[in-house]
Chains A and B, each alone.
Chain A
Amino acid sequence: MAEILRTFRLYWRLQRATARGAMQYRLNAVISVLTGVVYQGAGFAFVWVVMSTFPSMDGWTLEEIAFLYGLRLTAHAMSMMPLSALIGLGWMVREGELDRVLLRPLNPLVQLMTKRMGVGQIGDLLTGVVLLVVAAPSWTPGKVAFCLLALVGGALVEASVFVAMSSLSLRMMDTFAIRVFVDDVFSRFGSYPMSVFGGVAQWVLTFVLPVAFVAYIPAGVLLDKTGSLNVPPAVAYLGPLLGVAMFAVAYRIWQSQLKHYHSVGS
């Protein structure tokens, strides 16, 4: 237990140092954040323009989709802000940089996560939170609590997939293309009512790559639409737990891949 607390304390300290580091390039940071806002804003502008002509998308109003969009963006930012440094993992393995990480007395994943900060994701977070607040249904204490759990659960779903795929880089596999593809699927399809995509695609996005659990299913609960989901209401209510379970599995995959790591020896 003391070990875990120490890890968390060091994570927090290192993360603060990385944030300070990122803020040294202030203009660059501001531009990254703004670019994130414009990028996500442009994505939402599509929904807004379409729904200025059509009042409903499979029974969802513009406001409801805005809420769904905000939920997904916030969860996405929450998972990628701490993890974006892992994008460079393949390079670190090839250059032998990872050896240095393994020699230090701190969890390697924590060290890697705190190497760099995802400044661009702050823009995603801002856009997500604004949409979430503006389009929110009337809050009750229960809904606020579920929303927070859903955000953590959703972030963990995306984080698990990302960590599991990144861990393959430890074995010198080039996962860049597949990572880009999966990330693309999460961000492209995650912010729409899944029923729009038709039976097969909806099934795949729910049970194979659980994109639906990031935002669509929790948004269904928060907007009282559990009847229209393709999972029973009980599963929808327990949805946030999926992220926890998936992350536990992803972390085990990470650990086992790390055990098989061979240095390039340069």
Chain B
Amino acid sequence: MIRPLAGTARIGLRFQFAYRSDVIMSAVALIAQVFLLRMVWTSVYGERQEAQGMTLEALLAYLTLANLQAFAINPIIPRIAHFRIRTGTVFFDLIHPAGYLPQMAAFQTGHTAAGLLLMTPAIPVVLLVGSITVPAQPFGYVATLVLGYAIAVMIALLIAMIGFWMMETGAISLLYRLTSQFFAGTMVPLSFFPGWLKTLAQALPFQYIGYVPAAVYVGRIQGGDVLRAVLVEMAWIAALAAVLWMVWRRAHRRVVINGG
């Protein structure tokens, strides 16, 4: 069970390395984005020391971190799954003993690992263009981030499974990326969202991909609230696992193998 999955993860890793020029291009875009955010936020803060409980210094560290996270987590599953369904190669994934969903998750993990390796040279530049502080709560940060990553992968699996019902999923993937990035708070921390939008963002799971870990890192979320965030994340993982299981039971019966 573990060996074949490690193999799939390795393929994900190689896949990312094969497209390293894409990674370099998105690293340049990431640097431009962090620079833009730094300048815009510094400008609106002006003389103010603090807004919504965050100093400018903490905010800039938050933004730098949240964007690095979003860059590293970037889900590949919907794209790969869609490609393999369209070309019929999904057949090989389905007869594989390790199971379809674990394979996709393993592929994503390998892909993320390679992304982390490739982005290492860019990190100092990003930190220089943006800004960083020492972690206020290193353990809380790692815990919320790892659980948040699991949530991100599970949602990506759900999006990928839409491909079993619809042949064209490009627009849905793009919409998902836009909404999830916005509600993850990669450009604006959730604490700055106005009334109803904040309520909506706090009800959605996307905050655990960006806002929650980064806010724990800079100390915007502290003490008991960190523990609560971890528990809520675990609840989300359990709920998403149940949904995934139910959707998968229907999805694999609908599968159409193209080609021959």
- Given contacts A31-B171, A35-B171, A192-B40, A53 and B51 within 8 Å (CB-CB): yes
Q: Is A92 an interface residue (CB 8 A)?
A: no
Q: Is the CB of A49 within 8 A of B197?
A: yes
Interface membership of chain B positions 10-41, coded 1 if the CB is closer than 8 angstroms to chain A and 0 otherwise: 00000000000100110011001101100111
Tell me whether chain A's interface is mostly helix, strand or loop, or mixed.
helix
**Partner among A32, A53, A56, A196 whose Cβ is within 8 Å of the Cβ of B40:** A196
Asked if A51 contacts B25 (CB within 8 A), the reply is no
Number of A-B contacts (CB under 8 A): 71
Question: In whole Å, how far is A69's beta carbon from the nearest beta carbon of chain B?
Answer: 13
CB of B39 within 8 A of CB of A181, answer no
- Whether B188 pairs with A39 at a CB distance below 8 angstroms is no
B21 touches A177 (CB 8 A): yes
Task: Contacts A54-B51, A181-B28, A189-B36 given; indicate if A39 touches B174 (C-beta within 8 A).
Answer: yes
CB distance from B172 to the nearest CB of A (A): 9
CA of A38 to CA of B175, assembled, Å: 8
A54–B44 CB distance below 8 A: yes
Contact A57 B44 (CB under 8 A): yes
A46–B175 alpha-carbon span in the complex (Å): 16
Q: Are B43 and A35 in contact (CB under 8 A)?
A: no
Q: Determine whether B45 belongs to the interface, using a CB cutoff of 8 Å to chain A.
A: yes
Q: Would you give the 0/1 interface string for A178-207, flagging 1 where the beta carbon is closer than 8 Å to chain B?
A: 001100110011001000111001000000
Residues of chain B within 8 A of A32, CB atoms compared: 171
Q: A residues 27-64 with Cβ under 8 Å of B? A: 28, 31-32, 34-35, 38-39, 42, 45-46, 49-54, 56-58
Shortest CB distance B126–A (Å): 15
B182 touches A57 (CB 8 A): no
Please, which residue of chain A has its CB at the minimum distance from the CB of B179?
A: A42
B52 within 8 A of A: yes
- Indicate if the CB atoms of B43 and A57 lie closer than 8 Å: yes
Could you tell me the dominant secondary structure of chain B's interface residues?
helix
Question: For B174, what are the chain A residues with a Cβ–Cβ distance below 8 Å?
Answer: 35, 39
Q: How far is the CA of A194 from the CA of B164 in the complex (A)?
A: 46
**Complex alpha-carbon distance, A52 and B46, angstroms:** 15
Q: How distant is the Cα of A215 from the Cα of B197 in the complex, in angstroms?
A: 29
Nearest Cβ on chain A to B129's Cβ, whole angstroms: 11
Residues from chain A with Cβ under 8 Å of B182 in the complex:
42, 45-46
- A50 near B192 with CB under 8 A, answer yes
Distance of A226 Cα from B179 Cα, bound (Å): 37
Interface string of B167-195 (1 = CB under 8 A from A): 01001001100110110000110001110
Q: How far is the CA of A185 from the CA of B33 in the complex (A)?
A: 10
Residues on A lying within 8 angstroms of B by beta carbon are 28, 31-32, 34-35, 38-39, 42, 45-46, 49-54, 56-58, 177, 180-181, 184-185, 188-189, 192, 196-198, 201
User: B178 near A38 (CB under 8 angstroms)?
Assistant: yes
Q: A46-B187, A54-B46 are in contact. List 17 more A-B contacts (CB 8 A).
A: A32-B171, A39-B178, A42-B179, A49-B188, A49-B193, A51-B44, A53-B51, A54-B44, A54-B51, A57-B43, A177-B24, A181-B28, A184-B29, A188-B32, A197-B35, A198-B39, A201-B39
Given known contacts A38-B175, A42-B178, A42-B182, A50 and B41 CB-to-CB distance under 8 angstroms: yes
Task: Give the docked Cα–Cα distance between A189 and B36 (Å).
Answer: 7
A-B pairs, top 8 by smallest CB distance, nearest first, are A54-B44, A196-B43, A52-B194, A31-B171, A46-B187, A49-B188, A42-B178, A197-B39
Q: How far is the CA of A45 from the CA of B200 in the complex (A)?
A: 15
Q: In the complex, what residue of chain A is closest to B178 when comparing beta carbons? A: A42
- For the complex formed, measure the closest distance between the CB of B39 and the CB atoms of chain A, giving whole angstroms: 5
Residue of B29, B39, B179, B194 near A196 (CB, 8 A) is B39
Task: Please name the residue on chain B nearest to A32 by beta carbon.
Answer: B171
B residues within 8 A CB of A201? 35, 39
A188 touches B36 (CB 8 A): yes
Q: Scan B32-64; emit 1 where CB is below 8 A from any A CB, else 0.
A: 110110011101111000011000000000000
**25 residue pairs bridging A and B, Cβ less than 8 Å apart:** A28-B168, A32-B171, A35-B171, A38-B175, A42-B178, A42-B181, A42-B182, A46-B187, A46-B188, A49-B188, A50-B41, A50-B44, A50-B192, A51-B44, A53-B51, A53-B192, A57-B40, A58-B43, A177-B21, A177-B24, A188-B32, A192-B40, A197-B36, A198-B39, A201-B39
Partner of A188, one of B24, B33, B43, B46: B33
Q: How far is the CA of A173 from the CA of B33 in the complex (A)?
A: 27
Q: Which residues of A contact B45 (CB under 8 A)?
A: 54
A35 / chain B contacts, CB cutoff of 8 Å = 171, 174-175
A198 vs B32: C-alpha distance in the bound complex, in angstroms? 14
Beyond A42-B182, A184-B29, A188-B33, is A53–B39 a contact (Cβ under 8 Å)? Answer: no
A165 to chain B, nearest CB (A): 15
A86 to B91, CA, bound (A): 37
